[in-house]
């Protein structure tokens, strides 16, 4: 690497650092985009790894209390110091990140731009352990890398860069652990998304950035997985499971009623062209493409399942001039500025969230005054539940409320004009129709999948129908408005 960068840094220029002759225009556009994804840096201690010639160093110093800028190339640090040395809150450190020694729990944010792609898997695991040590509990790691997507063309390879898929980066970082006293810590995903500037300028979605948070892992793992995201992508939303769901619900959908139910729900909103919509739990993006096409709204779809978002991004590439963006994101950890959205929309997702009160409090902040919230979600009937339903909820890790309880949570969060509608009959109708169509198309389904998978899907639908008929499972639709 040292030899490589000696050959590519004779002028220590921005073009050399980015390995792109159009670097000046790109950095003008993607720098504010990247900075907008960071948590608040006020009074924060920042560690910048691979600081290079200081593209971000001075900007970080203007936001944070202190920045430690690290790079292993002396020429880069000299240029960085020349550009940013007037900031009294920057310390410059020449070091190789794989052997870097820093005080434990001394930083609130670690920032890295195009560094990890130069590390082997073993080196990255080692650095991940070190970063967990350097971060304070609740601290964040932000990094941006050049990737490739498995469904697309492999990128040009130039030594010594190691290209990985976004999923591989996610796996390597979230599998790291560190023990402090009696506490076990790891990284949980906050968000991961393609840099929109590169999509706009180069039709390139392979520039990807992440925000992770250091969290305690002193809790029971989700069925043997380190994170809830790993559980979803390996179990309920494994790639083949998604394909089966979409087969039943229709192209672009993985929730009850597919497009028809989406049309019914969206009709409850007064969408206007140019409005900003956030879809929490966007799945494959069917609702998002529908809202954008029919109403001209701009939609950000977020989903914790990497498998879902990867497929949604593939669909988005086929939508010329699409107003829809997607990211892998955890709505319970994601941060948006106050008043970012006109509408927040969610389909059958918040059943995974135990602390709904806190989430809806955050949603209230994200909405503009007068902004609308529309949610459909699995709900439950009065307790006690049957043993079968209790086990079903436990196995899936759901957190269910009655429609009335759900509506009360929205009111207590500060929403007005709350409508809490029990639409179980609509769910029953959709489930019955879907089961009939599945059974009528048995041969076609089995050709595409298998007899065992058919029986699994069909029995799952029959069990849903029975749970609804027993009064254990309900389906709710909730509408609310942020006060003016």
Give Rg (Cα) of the chain: 24
Q: State yes or no: cis peptide before 160, omega within 30 of 0.
A: yes
Is 2-219 assigned to CATH 3.40.50.800?
A: no
Domain residue limits, the chain = 2-219, 230-481
pLDDT at 63 over 60: yes
Instruction: Name the pLDDT band for 227 (thresholds 50, 70, 90).
Output: confident
Q: 415 Cβ partners below 8 Å, 6+ apart?
A: 360, 364, 373, 480, 481, 482, 483
Tokens of 170: 């996610």
CB-based contact 67:91 (threshold 8 Å): yes
Q: How far is CA 115 from the centre of its chain?
A: 21
Report percent pLDDT > 70 for the chain.
91
Q: 255 Cβ partners below 8 Å, 6+ apart?
A: 249, 261, 283, 347, 348, 376
Query: What's the confidence (pLDDT) of residue 154?
Result: 46
Q: How far is CA 68 from the centre of its chain?
A: 28
Lowest-confidence region among 162-166, 282-286, 381-385, 436-440: 162-166
Burial of 48 (0-12, 13-18, 19+ CB in 10 A): buried
Q: Hey, how many other C-beta atoms are within 10 angstroms of the C-beta on 158? A: 10
C-alpha distances out from residue 397 to 135, 231, 359, Å: 30, 10, 17
* pTM (two decimals): 0.90
pLDDT at 179 over 60: yes
Q: State yes or no: cis peptide before 434, omega within 30 of 0.
A: no
Pairing of strands 183-194, 276-280: unpaired
Query: What's the confidence (pLDDT) of residue 228?
Result: 86
pLDDT at 15 over 60: no
Q: 326 Cβ partners below 8 Å, 6+ apart?
A: 193, 282, 285, 288, 300, 301, 302, 303, 309, 312, 313, 316
C-alpha to C-alpha distance for 279 and 298, rounded to whole angstroms: 11
* Ordered alpha helix ranges (H), 397-476: 403-413, 424-440, 442-448, 451-469
Q: Hey, how many other C-beta atoms are within 10 angstroms of the C-beta on 287? A: 29
Q: Which helix (H) or strand (E) holds 358?
A: helix 356-366
Task: Tell me if 2-219 shares its fold with 230-481.
Answer: yes
C-alpha to C-alpha distance for 41 and 27, rounded to whole angstroms: 21
pLDDT at 143 over 90: yes
Instruction: Name the pLDDT band for 457 (thresholds 50, 70, 90).
Output: very high
Expressed in angstroms, the distance from the first to the final Cα of the chain is 56
C-alpha to C-alpha distance for 460 and 118, rounded to whole angstroms: 46
What's the pLDDT tens digit per position in 287-319? 999 999 999 999 999 999 999 999 999 888 887
Burial of 469 (0-12, 13-18, 19+ CB in 10 A): exposed
Question: What is the DSSP track for 61-130?
Answer: HHHSSEEEEEES-HHHHHHHHHHHTT-TTEEEEE--GGG----TT-EEEEEEES-GGGS-HHHHHHHHHH
Tell me the CATH number of domain 230-481, given options 3.40.190.10, 3.40.50.150, 3.40.718.10, 3.40.1160.10.
Answer: 3.40.50.150
């Amino acid at each position: 690497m040292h030899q490589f960068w000696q050959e590519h840094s004779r002028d220590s220029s921005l073009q050399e650092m980015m390995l792109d002759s159009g670097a000046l225009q790109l950095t003008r556009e993607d720098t504010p985009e990247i900075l907008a994804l960071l948590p608040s840096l006020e009074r924060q201690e920042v560690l910048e790894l691979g600081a290079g010639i200081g593209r971000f160093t001075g900007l970080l110093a203007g936001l944070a209390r202190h920045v430690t800028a690290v790079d292993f190339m002396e020429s880069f640090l000299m240029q960085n110091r020349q550009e940013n040395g007037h900031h009294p809150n920057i310390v410059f450190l020449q070091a190789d990140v794989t052997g870097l020694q820093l005080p434990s729990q001394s930083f609130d944010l670690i920032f890295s731009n195009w560094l990890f792609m130069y590390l082997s898997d073993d080196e990255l695991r080692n650095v991940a352990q070190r970063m967990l040590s350097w971060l304070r509990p609740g601290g964040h790691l932000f990094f941006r890398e050049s990737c490739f997507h498995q469904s697309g063309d492999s990128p040009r390879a130039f030594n010594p860069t190691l290209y990985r898929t976004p999923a591989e980066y996610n796996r390597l970082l979230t599998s790291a652990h560190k023990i402090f006293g009696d506490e076990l810590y790891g990284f949980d995903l906050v968000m991961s998304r393609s840099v929109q500037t590169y999509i706009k300028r180069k039709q390139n979605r392979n520039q990807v950035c992440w925000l992770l948070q250091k969290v305690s892992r002193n809790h029971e793992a989700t069925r043997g997985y380190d994170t809830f995201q790993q559980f979803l992508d390996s179990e309920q939303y494994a790639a083949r499971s998604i394909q089966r769901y979409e087969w039943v619900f229709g192209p672009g959908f993985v929730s009850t009623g597919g497009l028809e139910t989406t049309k019914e729900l969206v009709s409850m909103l007064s969408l206007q062209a140019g409005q900003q919509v956030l879809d929490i739990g966007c799945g494959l993006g069917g609702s998002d493409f529908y809202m954008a096409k029919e109403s001209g709204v701009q939609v950000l779809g977020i989903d914790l399942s990497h498998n879902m978002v990867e497929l949604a991004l593939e669909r988005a590439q086929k939508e010329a001039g699409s107003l829809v963006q997607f990211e892998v994101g955890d709505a319970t950890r994601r941060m948006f500025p106050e008043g970012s959205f006109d509408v927040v929309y969610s389909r059958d997702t918040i059943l995974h969230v135990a602390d709904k009160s806190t989430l809806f409090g955050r949603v209230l902040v994200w909405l503009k005054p007068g902004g609308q919230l529309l949610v459909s979600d699995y709900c439950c009937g009065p307790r006690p539940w049957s043993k079968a339903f209790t086990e079903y909820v436990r196995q899936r890790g759901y957190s269910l409320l009655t429609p009335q309880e759900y509506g009360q949570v929205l009111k207590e969060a500060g929403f007005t004009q709350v409508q809490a509608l029990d639409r179980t009959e609509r769910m029953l109708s959709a489930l019955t129709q879907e089961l009939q169509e599945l059974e009528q198309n048995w041969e076609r389904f089995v050709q595409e999948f298998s007899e065992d998978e058919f029986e699994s899907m069909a029995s799952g639908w029959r069990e849903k129908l029975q749970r609804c008929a027993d009064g254990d499972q309900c389906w709710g639709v909730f509408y609310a408005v942020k006060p003016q």
